[in-house]
Structure 1
Amino acid sequence: MLAKWLSGLMDANLPQPRAGAAAVEMTEVRKTYLTGAGEFEALKGVNMSVVAGEFVAVVGKSGSGKSTLINMITGIDRPTGGEVWVAGMPVHTLTENQIAVWRGRTVGVVFQFFQLLPTLTVLENVMLPMDFCSMYAQTERPARALKLLDLVGVREQAHKLPANLSGGQQQRVAIARSLANDPPLLVADEPTGNLDSRTATAVIDFFKQLAADGKTILMVTHDNDLARRSGRIVTVYDGQILSAGNTERDGSV
Structure 2
Amino acid sequence: MSDEAVGIDPIAADPFPDTYRRLTAYVGGHDDPPDPADVLAMQMVLRLEKADPPARGEVLEAAARAVALLCLDDRAGGDGPWASPMDAWCDARIRKIARRARGAHWVAAQEVWGVTATAGGAQARALVPGRVGAVDKRISRLQIGGTEIAGDLPVAPARAGICLWVNPALEMTVGKLAAQVGHGAMLAVTLLDEASARTWRDTGCPLSVCAADDPVWARLLDDDGAGRAVAVRDAGFTEIAPGSVTVIAEIREG
Structure-1-length-normalised TM-score: 0.28
Structure-2-length-normalised TM-score: 0.28
